[in-house]
Structure 1
Amino acid sequence: MNALSRNPADRVVVVGAGVAGLATALRLAPRPVTLVSASPLGQGTATGWAQGGIAAAIGADDDAHRHAADTLAAGAGLSEPEVAARVAAEGPRLIDWLLGAGIAFDRTEDGALALGLEAAHGRRRIVRAGGDATGARVLDGLVRAVQAAPSVEIVVATVRDLLRDAAGAVAGVVCERDGVPFRIPARAVVLATGGLGALYAATTNPRGATGRGLALAARAGAVMRDMEFVQFHPTAIAAGADPMPLATEALRGEGARLVDERGEPVMAGVAGGDLAPRDVVARGIFGALARGRTVYLDTRGALGSRMAARFPTVATLCAEASIDPAVQPIPVRPAAHYHMGGVKVDAQGATSVPGLYACGEVASTGLHGANRLASNSLLEGLAYAGFIADGLDAAPGAPVRPVATEPRAPADLAPIRALMEARVGVVRDAAGLGEAVARLAPLAPACDAALVALLVSQAALGRRESRGAHWRSDFSGSVPARHSETTLGPVLAETAAAARPAAEAMAR
């Protein structure tokens, strides 16, 4: 179907082709959808790199209430109970939906779905495919479904800006392909653009994960929430690659242990040990590294010998790094992995800007809070794809009178990545965050990557406590739980005001 030829009052543009974007396009059928992807379908998305699986309470000893309770516990006071309950309840239905789409999940010898265990889950509830290739298998299945869907037009291009109508509502996108800009008018735009991990020098995310959708939403005036909460996966394989390959958390669920170069347990004396929540494990490893230790994930023995069968993705990554996990421990370190904050959305995935929706990692739904529970990310994207489709089905179309702003040039990411790694990482303090804000503020008006990095840094500076993935060495305690919310205008105004005295002093 040529969706570009349809009436823009009916068309929905979905930006991004990971699990959130693909599922949204499918759930909107038969409504005409233009799916805009910066890369050919199946490439350049973090979904394909997801190793763990999809959390779903389908075990005989499990239910959605337990799943929601674990989500709230991991979220450190900022996960919203009604959202956790609603998303957890969707889990079993979504697994059935994926099975119906032809995705073959791993099964036990008696034919039941195989369920794995990951940190902070009270039950085995991680549904997986291909051992540790869940993301790739789900992505492949959804790509095939989208390519076969008559309601979806696929456009490979980079979205540079949002179109606005005379009333300020989002009315389409400005794209660029081979240096040529063009417009796609629409009655609504769904951002499904992923996260911002590539703003850090050490990351498990694709290099394109620089928060482009966050910048688009912020420049449109959307409310941004909890931007300071960046999850660092504790066990990225420290073998010199960029992005860093991931050693899935499920390895620790199957018995792998974190040790230092002397073989001493890194997480000894910590509640939950190697299966503590991700933020706790990441700080444990970070602290050991800061003390000059080297940290390894020890899979030697029986687990390492069956790695190729149970964890083929990690086995391949280890082989590429000349590591034999059966006889050698895997060197690991924390790396930027997932962003819990994002564009604030309501129960239907709508942002504060009319006509603009967000789904997946780019959105702040209230599910993840201060610390995402493992394998809840694919679940969230799948769930909100359906919620958005239901909300858009109920919304009337509107005439489009698009007005676009000027596109911005791409940035030199190297200094931004180094700054974020050094000053806005696993452990933070006022001095480092203040330096980050001061250095990013002059770049932000013209640079999307700097803008997103500034939003994270400014929010982290303002949260004067330690909570979940946000850890302040100068404020180790916590205050009553609260979300942080802002729009772009106040952030730019605040940073400009803070920078003015320094600039005046330099002028004198």
Structure 2
Amino acid sequence: MLRFDTLIIGSGLAGLTLALKLAEHQKVGLITKKSLLDGASSRAQGGIAAVLSSEDTLDAHIQDTLTAGAGLCDEAVTRYVVEHGKAAIDWLIDQGVPFTRDNSSLMGYHLTREGGHSRRRIIHAADATGHAVQETLAAKVLSHPNITVLEHHLSVDLITGRKLGLADNRCYGAYALNSLSGEVVTIAARDTILATGGSGKVYLYTTNPDTATGDGIAMAWRAGCRVANMEFIQFHPTCLYHPHAKSFLISEAVRGEGGILKLPDGTRFMPHHDERAELAPRDVVARAIDFEMKKHGLDCVYLDISHQSIEFLEEHFPTIYSRCLSLGINISKEPIPVVPAVHFTCGGVMADLNARTDVDNLYAVGETAYSGLHGANRLASNSLLECLVFANAAVRDILDKPQQALRELPAWDESRVTDADEQIVISHNWAELRHFMWNYVGIVRTNKRLQRAQHRIQLLQDEIDEFYANFHVNPDLLELRNLVLNAELIVQSALARHESRGLHFSKDYPTAQPNPQPTILTPRTR
């Protein structure tokens, strides 16, 4: 049995920030499904939103967030996050993150603007901000004597008092599968933090990495935690459309720096959908593109930034410029083919201002959590900010409370399972799930499509539960088990919302209702 003061599940920005700050005071274990840098945070191109300029205000950032969230943001939470934004950025700068400089700026850093923002407030490292941040923090994590990193370890389930037959409602650690050896290890911890990211891989087309299988959300639900707002799945409007460009994102900042969306004949269409045109929030732009593609029978639309100079493009978007060029697309001379793709899970495990969940000693931070910040639609570049601010909040809460003794935990029991005779069931179910979620629970929804999805989910769950009960676990089975549960939560939430708002658009309920409330689901185990 491995023992830590705190166990962190996930190695994105939330996980690395938590590890570095907690390790100043205690022994930390960090498990990650693949390598330390395999996750959504490393892929973040645009940057981090925070009020850093004298031309910006806290109230403006708050209002932009509330507007994008379409009436479902928690205003107190939004204010808390925005007010702590500058301190979070200052900490990253102190760690040595190489944000893009601008000597003409009073603060010395270049700020860009993205859809939904009324000011330039996105601090970035060219167009590869997430990678720059993660590389900087990962180097410090790997060299820290109080941090044990377990790569290629996939969490199986949380160990709770209820599962141990105790009377309490507490998390004692987790089981994790070493995907290289096949061994399930037992990890005991006083506190456990879910920082596992979102569930984008439940859909056929996504900008998310293969690791985004909603593991933390599923484990927390099985442990008795409520989830909220799972119907709000953000589709990024501009994913590169090319057969050899799997999941490559074209940053929001391309539109922020003047990129224009066009039909194949060169006609601009966004002004017909919203007065903010290309700088409208993501839900508006994604629906507009979806509408135009269906109206004209298109495979994609085009994002044109060719009016900018090569020097400008190479300075501001070096990753996008070089990636497109490698695929034969010269963005200084021709538009970029783009389509919407699933990008962010706005809902998740319910967590308070200290990142606490419904289970004692269990925390949720980042995309895994529902903090109340994003509402019905996340404002661009608020996600990494959320990771930083709530990581700090969780650290303070953990260090301020009295520490309890570690408990001896039972080893993983494999006495009643055998090796699976075939894996085709897993691969077939995985493909079926992602296809029908894309077709039935996409940008535009109907009750009939949602009910079809719900029926298929139930059939898949029965098969997967039987497989899980009888055979040794493996990564594909664990991820599929979690994805199917996330799909069920998304569909349940979508069926419960009888209106169209933000990222959830229903043909059966096309208008917004007054006094909107979060969609909160409670597991039967509570």
TM-score (norm 2): 0.88
| SS of alignment partner, residue 187 of structure 1 | strand
Q: Partner residue of 1:424?
A: 441
Structure 1 portions without partners, runs of 5+: 492-508
| Per-residue Cα deviation, 1:43-102 (whole angstroms, up to 9, x for no partner) | x20111100000010111112221111111111111111111111011111111001101
| SS of alignment partner, residue 290 of structure 2 | helix
Q: Partner residue of 2:265?
A: 262
| SS of alignment partner, residue 34 of structure 1 | strand
Q: Partner residue of 1:211?
A: 214
Q: 2:313 aligns with which of 307, 318, 322?
A: 307
TM-aligned CA distance change 1:171 to 1:242, over 3 Å: farther
TM superposition shift of 1:306 = 3.1
- Please say if residues 443 and 451 of structure 1, whose CA atoms lie closer than 8 Å, have aligned partners that are also in contact: no
TM superposition shift of 1:443 = 2.6
CA separation in 2, counterparts of 1:227 and 1:191? 17
Q: Partner residue of 2:172?
A: 171
TM superposition shift of 1:150 = 2.2
Give yes or no for the alignment of 1:345 onto 2:351.
yes
- Please say if residues 266 and 295 of structure 1, whose CA atoms lie closer than 8 Å, have aligned partners that are also in contact: no
TM superposition shift of 1:241 = 4.2
TM-aligned CA distance change 1:303 to 1:225, over 3 Å: farther
Q: Partner residue of 1:283?
A: 287
Give yes or no for the alignment of 1:233 onto 2:245.
no
CA separation in 2, counterparts of 1:395 and 1:428? 45
- Please say if residues 184 and 412 of structure 2, whose CA atoms lie closer than 8 Å, have aligned partners that are also in contact: no
1:99 partner amino acid: I
| SS of alignment partner, residue 205 of structure 1 | coil
CA separation in 2, counterparts of 1:432 and 1:313? 38
CA separation in 2, counterparts of 1:146 and 1:230? 31
TM superposition shift of 1:487 = 2.4
| SS of alignment partner, residue 443 of structure 1 | helix
CA separation in 2, counterparts of 1:123 and 1:215? 37
TM superposition shift of 1:403 = 5.5
- Please say if residues 164 and 402 of structure 1, whose CA atoms lie closer than 8 Å, have aligned partners that are also in contact: no
Q: Partner residue of 2:109?
A: 113
Q: Partner residue of 2:51?
A: 57
Q: Partner residue of 1:133?
A: 128
Q: Partner residue of 2:91?
A: 97
| SS of alignment partner, residue 444 of structure 2 | coil
CA separation in 2, counterparts of 1:462 and 1:119? 29
Q: Partner residue of 1:181?
A: 184
Give yes or no for the alignment of 1:30 onto 2:47.
no
Q: Partner residue of 1:122?
A: 118
TM-aligned CA distance change 1:81 to 1:406, over 3 Å: farther
Structure 2 portions without partners, runs of 5+: 466-480
CA separation in 1, counterparts of 2:51 and 2:215? 33
- Please say if residues 47 and 124 of structure 2, whose CA atoms lie closer than 8 Å, have aligned partners that are also in contact: yes
| SS of alignment partner, residue 451 of structure 2 | helix
CA separation in 1, counterparts of 2:211 and 2:320? 22
Which shifted more, 381-390 or 326-335? 326-335
- Please say if residues 163 and 174 of structure 1, whose CA atoms lie closer than 8 Å, have aligned partners that are also in contact: yes
| SS of alignment partner, residue 445 of structure 2 | coil
| Per-residue Cα deviation, 1:223-262 (whole angstroms, up to 9, x for no partner) | 0011111000000011124642111010111111000011
Give yes or no for the alignment of 1:16 onto 2:22.
no
| SS of alignment partner, residue 186 of structure 2 | strand
Overall identity of the aligned pairs, in %:
38
Q: 1:68 aligns with which of 46, 62, 65?
A: 62
Number of residue pairs matched by the alignment: 483
Q: 2:482 aligns with which of 425, 434, 448?
A: 448
TM-score (norm 1): 0.91
Task: Let me know the Cα RMSD of the aligned residues.
Answer: 1.9
Q: 1:295 aligns with which of 255, 280, 301?
A: 301
- Please say if residues 346 and 376 of structure 2, whose CA atoms lie closer than 8 Å, have aligned partners that are also in contact: yes
Q: Partner residue of 1:402?
A: 409
